[in-house]
Amino acid sequence: MQNQFTGVINQLNKTCKIIKIEHDELEILSRPDRIIEVSLPVLMDNGRIKVFTGYRVQYNNIRGPYKGGIRFHPDVNLDEVKSLAFWMTIKCAVADIPYGGGKGGVAVDVKELSQGELERLTRAYTRGFADFIGPYRDVPAPDVYTTPQIMAWLMDEYSHIKGENTPAVVTGKPVEIGGSLGRDTATSLGGFFVFEQVLSKMSGMGGKDQLSIAVQGFGNVGMNFALIAYHAGYKITAVSDSRGGIYDPEGLNIEEVLSHKQTAGSVVNFNGLENITNEQLLELPVDIVVPAALENVINEANADKIKAKIILEMGNGPTTPEAEAALLKKGALIVPDVLANSGGVIVSYFEWVQNLRHYYWEQDKVEANLEKQVVRAFEKVWQAKEGNGCDMRVAAYTVAVERLVKALSVRGI
């Protein structure tokens, strides 16, 4: 199996052939600007020092400061971080916000760390990368297993290093220290806006009460998407988290599922329903599947078993190229991650603007501007899809690459 970044560049090559991009621009976009790897010594609670490896890939900043999350996960590796940094470059260009793309990570299981160890790791990461991040250079954000609290520690450590309060160094912070209202649900709400735009373009899908949705991943993004869709009148028939999932063809009460998870620590064993695996959830007889967990969950092994007509990619890179080809052949519509989950980085941009101006918005203004921005991005991608006769991922990449190449051209690079 090819590594993830090779697949990413193959997608870029495919896009460049369609829009006839010159070799020189492709050479620039095929490589990250900078790869930084840092050893992070952390004092553990047992009195011993443990050294973790931290990564930050700054992929491209032609349209603005590098932007991208930091993930703390056992499977973090350089190939993954490079791929995620590339996707952030594309995502920011699709959303048409003035950022480039970057990503960071540490290979660590946060469930094995105490609160104190997690804080010391975060501060070590900040010290290790303090010379490479900043409000006008590279602006991190939360990602898998990183939280607003972790962003607060990062901002605090960076501010101490620089000798001044610097809220704009990071987004996704608590509102008490400069975070934006609406940021916690932004990815999910943006995805919901995209989802409703997709439905408006498709005929024969039926009304809300006729559609069934399965959400894989009941973390912040998947949980909030399920809640938003449920309250809007859609039928959520299955959800899952890292321990497994539940399925009810008649529809779940997502408020009750959330209450159960908060009490039991998982959605499994809810209300006498039969438990299912994460793999089984993807293969259910539903209209829409929403993968909101980790990469490559839809792959060659299960693509032929997936029955959904729409795949809404709320997680990053959930579909392998081989699986995508099989699903497209079956007539499925795949709404790519670089569009579907762009709400988070759009509101991160709003947070950054608020920090720089020291002027903060009401939540209804945040959400109205999010809807305006993400609907505009969707329309641009849909026009490219219809105009080029291609799938939505290629269309999104077309929009992004054309914007990146234009920026390279007008800057004389």
Marked catalytic residue, from 82, 103, 235, 385: 103
Q: Is 380 a catalytic residue?
A: no
Q: Would you say how long the chain is, in residues? A: 413
Dihedral class, residue 25 (left if φ above 0, else alpha if ψ from -120 to 50, else beta): alpha
Those residues with Cβ within 8 angstroms of residue 278's Cβ, 6 or more apart along the chain or in another chain: 216, 240, 244, 245, 293, 297
The edge-to-edge listing of strands for the beta sheet with 138-142 is 34-43, 49-60, 101-107, 66-73, 138-142
Catalytically active residues, by annotation: 103
